[in-house]
């Protein structure tokens, strides 16, 4: 096979390492980096196996402590007790913070975590710091994730007795493309090469496809499943149509709601007027909040199996909480979260154009799947009497990632267990700013990948020689509600009355989810672009991108605007 002598990774490739290692035989491992727990799995030749750490755990807490000179994570280090995680030295919940700017409400809600999350509210990366010897030592979400990944990698290398390079990572469906680049960045820092980033419910869908492939072979009929995955940080829903080992994602929906929200709502319920305490950076307050957090978490866990629980905790600052909480209270204070979950399911079914009676299986996985209210709300929204039983709720996503790792590494199985394929769909719409401050989607949400779509725009002003293409991702009608992915300028538009030049914007997403934006100008009387077409790989923005849109607006106003060409209705 003729290979080019060398290839140069594009500068905008995030993981700036060598890409085309033609000698390639290892099986990629699957990693599920959860907001609170992580796990690693690999295809061992006949089935998926979860790897255990030295303490024989399959699930490892996702945190990194900066106690000593060398930071250590939850894979290797052993905690004396739970409170140690909450002393200010440990950083966790990074999946909620990675790739977010300090104007993001999710970042603000993370301020109650027992370490420093400092925001300036101007659209830059928040400052995150751990308390080491009474000094706030700054770090970044990418660094924390990378430290953790290094530990996971080392653990897997010991278990598998081979170097690990390629990984398949699961990610929340609601992650923006910018957040994905941050995850890739963290992997690169850890010396890992990302083979695939899989939205968590699609990994579960792949596992489901494998479980069903043996039962109904190629001729078998199609089965539609709804997958609901809720962990500590995120809630995702997918609708998948499965037949013969092919899992076709019909729709995806996701939101940054999860167990963490349930926990915080409950903390506020147990200790009203605690806002100042929760966001305080005083050492004593951090300890108190840590104690409250542990107690609340235990209470929520207990409420999954019993209807009421006694909370008895001394916060050490003179405040004592002694209270009986029942399940009804818990469900009431979290009503908003549960409503949001239900709306995600409804939206996903709607996008997939599937009725509840067409759904053959409803799969609920993730840490929150143990909460009775979650189970009942999913069942009632899907109008089902029972849930799919064939999966371990905590291991489903990582197992799916391991399967994808094996498939993407080119492995095959004599029994056809790896005769699998996931046909992915886009979780968020992608488009550009046009018609004032509006977001005009070009590739709608839940479009089958790979996808390529285009749309024609035109100039907003007479004799407009330049136009800004600002690319966003999300669901909001206004650009501010969406994630900025990048921007570039089309120059040299021939002078003409407004509405005459055609600016054609093409979005192309390949199966690895790489997005490219092409834009060129066509003038009446010619079918050749006036100038060379611009082709930009997105996202191009870096940290602090919250600034960009505003800065662009300040510099150019509406002078470089675009409008959509009127379309047939």
Partner 1 sequence: MSVSAVSISQFSLPKAFQVEDHFTTISKPIWRWRRQGSPASRIRCGKREAGEMLATSMGKNYYELLGVSVDSNAQKIKQAYRNLQKKYHPDVAGQEGHEYTLKLNEAYKVLMRENLRKEYDASIGEMRGNYSSSSLGRTSSWNGPLRPQGLFVDENACIGCRECVHHASSTFIFDEALGCARVKLQYGDDEQKIEVSVDSCPVNCIHWVEKEELPVLEFLIQSQPKEGFGIFGGGWERPANVFMAAKSFNKQTHNEKHGRNSRASTVEEEETPAQAKARADASRKINMEAASGLFSRFWQWQNKPFWGEKEE
Q: What part of residues 3-62 is at the interface with partner 1 (CB under 8 A)? A: 3-4, 7-10, 13, 15, 19-22, 24, 28
* Beta-ladder partners of 215: none
Question: Dihedral of the CA atoms 28, 407, 58, 109 (nearest 10)?
Answer: 90
d(CA 408, CA 360): 28
**Range in contact with partner 1 (rule: CB under 8 A) among 82-90, 143-151, 392-400, 494-502:** 494-502
d(CA 430, CA 474): 6
Taking the complex as a whole, the smallest distance from the CB of residue 241 to partner 1 amounts, in Å, to 8
**Window 161-190: residues binding partner 1 (CB under 8 A):** 166
Question: What one-character DSSP code corresponds to residue 448?
Answer: B
Q: Is residue 305 involved in binding partner 1 (CB under 8 A)?
A: no
* Per-residue three-class SS string for 34-77: CCCEEEEEEECCCCEEECCCCCCCCCEECEEECCCCCCEECCCC
Q: Pick the closest to residue 319 from 283, 266, 271, 281 (CA basis).
A: 271
Pick between residue 317 and residue 412 the one whose CB is nearest to partner 1.
412
SS3 call for 139: strand
Taking the complex as a whole, the smallest distance from the CB of residue 170 to partner 1 amounts, in Å, to 16
Taking the complex as a whole, the smallest distance from the CB of residue 395 to partner 1 amounts, in Å, to 23
Taking the complex as a whole, the smallest distance from the CB of residue 256 to partner 1 amounts, in Å, to 27
Pick between residue 59 and residue 195 the one whose CB is nearest to partner 1.
195
Q: What is the largest CA-CA distance in the chain?
A: 80
d(CA 192, CA 300): 36
**Window 200-219: residues binding partner 1 (CB under 8 A):** 218-219
Q: Pick the closest to residue 330 from 363, 306, 366 (CA basis).
A: 306
Pick between residue 311 and residue 456 the one whose CB is nearest to partner 1.
456
End-to-end CA distance of the chain: 50
469 in Cβ contact with 486 (< 8 Å): no
What track of x and - describes contact with partner 1 for positions 216 through 245 (by CB under 8 A)?
--xx-xx------------------x-xxx
**Window 436-455: residues binding partner 1 (CB under 8 A):** 444, 448, 450-452, 454-455
Q: Pick from 499, 547, 548, 552 the residue near partner 1 by CB under 8 A.
A: 499
Q: Pick the closest to residue 428 from 442, 413, 411, 412 (CA basis).
A: 442
Pick between residue 372 and residue 499 the one whose CB is nearest to partner 1.
499
Taking the complex as a whole, the smallest distance from the CB of residue 514 to partner 1 amounts, in Å, to 6
Buried b (16+ CB within 10 A) or exposed e, 128-151: bbbbbeeebeebbbbbbbbbbbbb
**Range in contact with partner 1 (rule: CB under 8 A) among 77-85, 335-343, 459-467, 506-514:** 506-514
Provide the phi-psi class of 339: left if phi over 0, else alpha when psi is between -120 and 50, else beta. alpha
For 151, phi then psi, to 5°, come to -65, -40
Pick between residue 135 and residue 421 the one whose CB is nearest to partner 1.
421
Taking the complex as a whole, the smallest distance from the CB of residue 112 to partner 1 amounts, in Å, to 39
Pick between residue 13 and residue 329 the one whose CB is nearest to partner 1.
13
Q: What is the DSSP string of 72-125?
A: EETTT---SSGGGGGSSSEEE-HHHHTT--TT-HHHHHGGGSSSEEE--SSSSP
Question: Dihedral of the CA atoms 128, 133, 134, 140 (nearest 10)?
Answer: -10
Q: Which residues contact 411 (CB under 8 A, 6 or more apart)?
A: 27, 43, 418
Q: Pick from 57, 508, 543, 547 the residue near partner 1 by CB under 8 A.
A: 508
What track of x and - describes contact with partner 1 for positions 137 through 166 (by CB under 8 A)?
-----------------------------x
Pick between residue 15 and residue 119 the one whose CB is nearest to partner 1.
15
Q: Which residues contact 283 (CB under 8 A, 6 or more apart)?
A: 88, 131, 134
**Window 242-301: residues binding partner 1 (CB under 8 A):** 243-246, 248
Pick between residue 155 and residue 432 the one whose CB is nearest to partner 1.
432
**Range in contact with partner 1 (rule: CB under 8 A) among 1-9, 126-134, 300-308, 309-317:** 1-9
Taking the complex as a whole, the smallest distance from the CB of residue 68 to partner 1 amounts, in Å, to 36
Pick between residue 341 and residue 451 the one whose CB is nearest to partner 1.
451
**Range in contact with partner 1 (rule: CB under 8 A) among 81-89, 359-367, 486-494, 559-567:** 559-567
Size of site (CB under 8 A) for partner 1: 77
**Window 355-414: residues binding partner 1 (CB under 8 A):** 407-410, 412
Pick between residue 379 and residue 518 the one whose CB is nearest to partner 1.
518
């Amino acid at each position: 096979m003729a290979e080019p002598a060398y290839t140069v990774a594009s500068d905008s490739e995030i993981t700036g390492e060598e890409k085309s290692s033609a000698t390639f035989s290892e099986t990629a491992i699957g990693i599920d980096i959860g907001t609170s727990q992580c796990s690693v799995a690999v295809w061992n030749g006949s089935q998926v196996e979860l790897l255990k750490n030295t303490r024989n755990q399959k699930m490892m807490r996702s945190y990194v402590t900066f106690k000593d000179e060398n930071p250590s994570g939850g894979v290797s280090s052993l905690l004396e007790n739970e409170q140690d995680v909450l002393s200010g030295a440990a950083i966790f919940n990074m999946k909620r913070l990675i790739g977010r700017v300090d104007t993001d409400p999710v970042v603000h809600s993370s301020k109650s975590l027992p370490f420093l999350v400092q925001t300036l509210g101007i659209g830059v990366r928040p400052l995150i710091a751990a308390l080491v010897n009474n000094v706030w030592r700054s770090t970044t979400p990418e660094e924390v994730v990378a430290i953790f990944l290094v530990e996971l990698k080392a653990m897997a290398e010991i278990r598998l007795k081979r170097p690990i390079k390629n990984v398949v990572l699961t990610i929340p469906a609601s992650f923006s493309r910018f957040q994905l680049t941050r995850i890739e960045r963290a992997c690169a820092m850890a010396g890992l090469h990302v083979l695939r980033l899989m939205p968590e419910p699609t990994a579960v869908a792949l596992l489901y496809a494998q479980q069903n492939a043996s039962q109904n072979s190629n001729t078998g009929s199609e089965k539609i499943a709804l997958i609901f995955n809720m962990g500590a940080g995120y809630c995702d829903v997918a609708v998948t149509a499965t037949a013969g080992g092919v899992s076709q994602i019909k729709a995806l929906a996701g939101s940054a709601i999860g167990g963490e929200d349930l926990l915080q709502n409950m903390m506020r319920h147990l200790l009203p007027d605690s806002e100042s305490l929760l966001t305080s950076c005083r050492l004593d307050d951090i300890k108190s909040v840590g104690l409250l957090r542990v107690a609340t978490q235990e209470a929520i866990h207990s409420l999954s199996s019993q209807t009421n629980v006694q909370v008895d905790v001394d916060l050490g600052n003179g405040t004592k909480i002694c209270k009986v909480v029942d399940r009804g209270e818990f469900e009431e204070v979290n009503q908003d979260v549960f409503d949001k979950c239900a709306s995600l399911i409804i939206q996903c079914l709607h996008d997939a154009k599937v009725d509840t009676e067409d759904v053959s299986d409803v799969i609920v996985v993730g840490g929150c799947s143990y909460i009775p209210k979650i189970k009942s709300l999913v069942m009632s929204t899907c109008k089902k009497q029972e849930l799919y039983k064939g999966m371990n709720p905590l291991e489903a996503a990582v197992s799916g990632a391991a399967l994808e790792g094996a498939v993407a590494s080119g492995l095959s199985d004599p029994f056809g267990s790896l005769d699998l394929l996931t046909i992915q769909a886009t979780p968020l719409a992608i488009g550009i700013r046009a018609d004032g401050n509006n977001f005009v989607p070009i590739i709608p949400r839940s479009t089958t990948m790979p996808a390529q779509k285009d749309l024609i725009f035109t100039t907003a002003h007479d004799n407009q020689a330049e136009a800004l293409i600002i690319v966003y991702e999300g669901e909001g009608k206004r650009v501010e509600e969406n994630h900025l992915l990048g921007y570039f300028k089309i120059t040299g538009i021939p002078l003409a009355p407004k509405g005459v030049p055609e600016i054609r914007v093409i979005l192309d997403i390949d199966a690895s989810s790489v997005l490219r934006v092409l834009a060129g100008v066509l003038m009446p009387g010619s079918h050749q672009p006036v100038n060379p077409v611009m082709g930009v790989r997105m996202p191009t923005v870096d940290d602090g991108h919250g600034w960009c849109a505003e800065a662009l607006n300040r510099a150019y106003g509406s002078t470089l605007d675009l409008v959509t060409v009127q379309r047939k209705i």
